[in-house]
Amino acid sequence: MGPNEKYLSAMSQPDVEFKAGLAVGELRYTHCHQCGRATFYPRVVCPACGSANVELRPSEGNGVVYSSSAITSRDADPYSVTLVDLPEGFRMLSSVQGIRAEDVTIGMAVRLSFDTDANGDPRAVFVPEVEK
């Protein structure tokens, strides 16, 4: 098997590879070698140029809040639903934890963290970046 065959077989299930990355503390995204675009959620074909010459890469995990909403309910504490811009060139929907949902602001520096969902599976979340 040549190197491309192994690569294509690993990319045939980007959702499985993405979840495997979460399990080892990585946020994986797709990088296109043809046009250079970063895409999140990982895919087998670049949505910008249609090339299958893509690979999964781990994000460095530092980001900036693009937009955020505090979701409230009667039975639970408010939580944030946040769009985060990452330096690799993609934006993802997540949540900022560690502060009140109402205190998440546009332009806030955040860093990747991990939590578990209701099924106990890992999920990517963000926490405020501590100023140095």
The CB-side HSE value for 122 (13 A sphere, CA atoms) comes to 16
Dist. CA 95–CA 90, nearest whole Å: 16
- The CATH architecture that domain 62-128 belongs to is Beta Barrel (2.40)
Name the strands in the sheet holding 54-58, side by side, starting at the edge strand that comes first in the sequence.
38-39, 28-32, 54-58
Amino acid at 96: V
23-70 confidence digits (pLDDT tens): 999 999 999 999 999 999 999 999 999 998 999 999 999 999 999 999
What are the extents of the domains in the chain?
A: 3-58, 62-128
SS3 state at 8: helix
8-24 confidence digits (pLDDT tens): 444 568 888 899 999 99
Look up the pTM and report it: 0.84
94-127 confidence digits (pLDDT tens): 999 999 999 999 999 999 999 998 899 999 999 9
CB 37 within 8 A of CB 49: yes
Name the strands in the sheet holding 90-94, side by side, starting at the edge strand that comes first in the sequence.
90-94, 79-86, 62-71, 109-116, 122-128
As a whole number, the mean pLDDT across the chain is 89
pLDDT at 2 over 50: no
What's the pLDDT at 11?
55
pLDDT at 5 over 50: no
What's the pLDDT at 28?
94
Q: How far is CA 123 from each of CA 16, 19, 93, 94, rounded to the nearest angstrom? A: 13, 8, 11, 9
The CB-side HSE value for 111 (13 A sphere, CA atoms) comes to 5
